Chain A
Amino acid sequence: MKMNRRQVLGLTAGIALVSATGTRFAFADAPATEKMIMDFAGGKMPATGKITLTAPEIAENGNTVPISVAVESAMTDGDMVQSVLILAEGNPNPDVATFHFTALSGTAAATTRMRLAKTQNVIAIAKMADGSVFMDKKEVKVTIGGCGG
């Protein structure tokens, strides 16, 4: 079958990702991360929507990768974001940060810089005041890993 360059690159990245997740002992794996998501979400898998995670497709330097989150919310009584949890599925520990917002925040949006040990998914989960939970996920390719190893 005829494949264009983009498809070949995508397939190669997919194969690399699958074989990378085989080396489990040094890095957190997807099931461990999934448990953290469920714990934060109160025992259920979050829905998609409302939250947008922005991260570069390719991070030249895994030591400092800029990421942003934004959650659609009026940030007033009845429509408020409580916290946003950021996880890195393939880091030695998936926890990255938890942002806490208030009505004074104005918007439930924040930017920071994080470390990525290798190519992996970054996950952001928003917990609303009414208990509903939303999630976004982005794959970031890392050329130089950022865990100092």
Chain B
Amino acid sequence: MAAKPKPRIKVPKEAKVGELVTIKTLISHEMESGQRKDKEGNLIPRKIINKFACDFNGAPVFSCDIDPAISANPYFEFSAKLTESGAFTFTWTDDDGSVYTDEQKITVS
């Protein structure tokens, strides 16, 4: 029923070596908790994004194991401290096995 989850990332395009970079991430997803009931009183099964990970040039920066108590359209804000230019990759894993990704380049000087 839901549209395909759409990621939205906010990362600066440039940063200085050693400077703290703030990264804001969002993905559209209902995050069905498994607590809700449908009109007939049956429990709607859980279906959430259960993991989020951010890597930079292949190395892990930040990740999150996600439980149903995280709100719909899961939002994560965190930081990175870089010494070289490259690309962030963002990965979201759904309970059903689907994996959604996004990428963002940054120039570090």
Contacts and interface: CB of A to CB of B under 8 A. Distances in A.
Contacts, number: 104
Contact of A96 (B56, B59, B69): B69
- 3 closest residue pairs by CB, A with B: A106-B81, A148-B36, A111-B77
Interface stretch (A50-58, A86-94, A133-141): A86-94
Nearest to B18: A106
Chain B contact patch, size range:
20 to 34
Contact of B68 (A93, A98, A110): A93
Given A104-B60, A105-B62, A106-B21, A97 B78 contact: no
B64 A98 contact: yes
B87 interface: no
A89 to B, nearest CB: 11
A92 B43 CA distance: 14
Interface of B: 20-21, 33, 35-37, 56, 59-72, 74-82
Contacts of B75: 111-113
Q: DSSP majority for the B interface?
A: strand
A47 to B, nearest CB: 24
Interface in A53-88: 63-65, 75, 88
A104 B35 contact: no
B67 A101 contact: no
Given A98-B65, A149-B35, A107 B60 contact: no
